[in-house]
Structure 1
Amino acid sequence: MLMPDWRGTLLSAALVLAACSPSPEGEAPPDAQAASDLVEEAAEPAGATSTDEPGTALPPADAASRYIGRWAESAEQCRSEAWTLTRNRLTAPDDIACDFTRIEKSPGGYAIDAVCAIDGAEEDDSITLRFAESAKAMLVEGTATLPETGLIYCGEAR
Structure 2
Amino acid sequence: MDEEALTPSPEALEKGRSGEPYEMPAQDRALMLVLAIAALVMPVFGVLSVTQTDCDAIMRSFSAFMITFGLVQVVKSFLAFVFKVPFEPSKQQKNLPTNCVSALGLLSIAMAVWGVAITAPRVGELPSDECSAMYFYTAFITAAANLAIPLAIAIGFCVAMALRKT
TM-score normalized by structure 2? 0.21
Higher strand share: 1
Return the structure number with greater relative CO, CA threshold 8 A, min gap 6: 2
Higher helix share: 2
Larger Rg: 1
